[in-house]
């Protein structure tokens, strides 16, 4: 499209939202506004607007003025150690009530398309080898985060059917890139430590998505007519075992991989003993997704290979 389109990106200070705003602000046909809880520092390459906490009462009227499209990345993210007895309600407050309030106000403001960054956790937690999740498969969320994302998706699709606002849902697998946190950051640190890791015998398969691949898919969904009212899974298109991932991380960082062969059964049992069952599942289990729908409908394929994505994790290391 030749005319400039005004875009509101929520969660502009987050891992995905900040990168998305940076990339979009360098594309001439887009005028980007990023929403944050509060403005702590000035971002010269795109406009910021403060909306406060996100819940069912958030007033988005100022942020939505003159916008054509919303990309909603803000969320209460998955917490590894959730100890709140009402954690589902806390997820719902942001991820369901907050999302639906924004979407209703967006529809009332005449927003043409609403892109929702959801999660593969809507599909479930694991797959059997060679049987990947698909966008059209039956969702089976397990944890409270996944359940809240599924409820938000259902509400958005119903709202779209009622109002005519186009809904696009993107479910990323584990997203990695510069600034990544959580378990992936821990793996990167372990690889860089040079310590022997007892993970050389793991033969699982997992789909990952580089941050810039997710950003590219999201940008494709802004204008593509085929994206309207569809669900897409986001991944790099190459599934990898935990053992191979560690080897490739070491190669990307330019260090020697030191993997020790230890039975996955022993690893799983040891993880249970020390209360790390969920973490062990992510290391030992499989989670594959099929992104063929993206190619068929959007003519989209990941611009970065997995190895190229991993190398971007260490760009600052190379500069130093």
Asked if 145 is an active-site residue, the reply is yes
What is the rounded distance in angstroms from the CA atom of residue 233 to the CA atom of residue 52? 30
Q: Which of 195, 188, 176 is nearest to 246 (CA)?
A: 188
Contact status, residue 153 vs residue 116, Cβ threshold 8 Å:
yes
Q: Scan for tokens 């691949």, then name that residue.
A: 213
Catalytic option among 145, 176, 232, 300: 145
What is the rounded distance in angstroms from the CA atom of residue 101 to the CA atom of residue 69? 15
Alpha helices of 65-210 — where are they, by DSSP H? Answer: 87-91, 99-108, 144-163, 182-193
Q: Scan for tokens 């430590």, then name that residue.
A: 193
Contact status, residue 196 vs residue 287, Cβ threshold 8 Å:
no
CA distances from 299 to 69, 255, 314 (A): 21, 37, 30
What is the rounded distance in angstroms from the CA atom of residue 63 to the CA atom of residue 65? 6
96 DSSP 8-state letter? I
Contact status, residue 2 vs residue 28, Cβ threshold 8 Å:
no
Is the Cα dihedral 320, 210, 101, 140 positive or negative? Answer: negative
Crossing angle of helices 99-108 and 144-163, rounded to 10° = 10
| Ramachandran angles phi, psi of 300, nearest 5° | -110, 135
Active site residues: 145
């Amino acid at each position: 499209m030749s005319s400039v389109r005004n875009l509101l990106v929520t969660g502009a200070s987050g891992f995905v939202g900040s990168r998305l705003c940076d990339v979009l602000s360098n594309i001439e046909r887009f005028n980007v506004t990023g929403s944050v809880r509060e403005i702590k520092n000035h971002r010269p390459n795109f406009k910021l607007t403060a909306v406060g906490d996100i819940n069912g009462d958030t007033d988005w009227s100022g942020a939505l003025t003159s916008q054509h499209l919303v990309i909603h990345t803000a969320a209460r993210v998955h917490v590894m150690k959730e100890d709140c007895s009402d954690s589902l309600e806390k997820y719902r407050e942001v991820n369901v009530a907050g999302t639906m309030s924004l979407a209703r106000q967006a529809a009332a403001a005449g927003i043409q398309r609403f892109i929702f960054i959801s999660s593969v956790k809507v599909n479930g937690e694991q797959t059997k080898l060679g049987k990947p999740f698909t966008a059209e498969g039956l969702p089976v969320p397990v944890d409270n985060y996944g359940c809240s994302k599924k409820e938000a998706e259902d509400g958005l699709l119903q709202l779209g059917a009622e109002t005519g606002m186009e809904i696009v849902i993107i479910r990323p697998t584990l997203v990695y890139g510069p600034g990544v946190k959580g378990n992936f950051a821990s793996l990167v640190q372990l690889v860089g430590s040079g310590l022997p890791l007892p993970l050389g015998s793991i033969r699982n398969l997992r789909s990952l998505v580089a941050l810039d691949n997710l950003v590219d898919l999201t940008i494709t969904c802004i204008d593509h007519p085929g994206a309207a009212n569809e669900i897409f899974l986001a991944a790099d298109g190459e599934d990898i075992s935990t053992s191979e991932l560690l080897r490739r991380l070491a190669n990307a960082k330019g260090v020697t991989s030191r993997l020790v062969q230890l039975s996955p059964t022993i690893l799983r049992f040891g993880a249970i003993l020390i209360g790390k069952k969920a973490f062990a599942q992510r290391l030992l289990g499989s989670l594959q997704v099929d992104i063929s729908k993206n190619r068929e409908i959007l003519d989209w394929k990941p611009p970065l290979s997995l190895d190229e994505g991993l190398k971007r994790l260490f760009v600052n290391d190379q500069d130093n």
